[in-house]
Amino acid sequence: MTYLSKALKIGGAAAALAMLVSVPAAVAVPRDHTVTFYFADENYTQHVGTKIQGCTGQVYTSGVVTPYEQEMLSTPCKPDHPE
- Domain residue limits, the chain: 3-76
Interior angle at CA 65, CA 62 and CA 67, nearest 5 = 155
Mean pLDDT (whole number) for 2-26: 52
Q: Look at 7 and 40; give whichever has higher pLDDT.
A: 40
In this predicted structure, the answer to whether residue 4 has a pLDDT above a threshold of 70 is: no
| pLDDT score at 74 | 92
| pLDDT score at 57 | 87
Tens digit of each residue's pLDDT (9 = 90 or more) over 29-73: 678 999 999 999 999 999 999 999 999 889 999 999 999 999 999
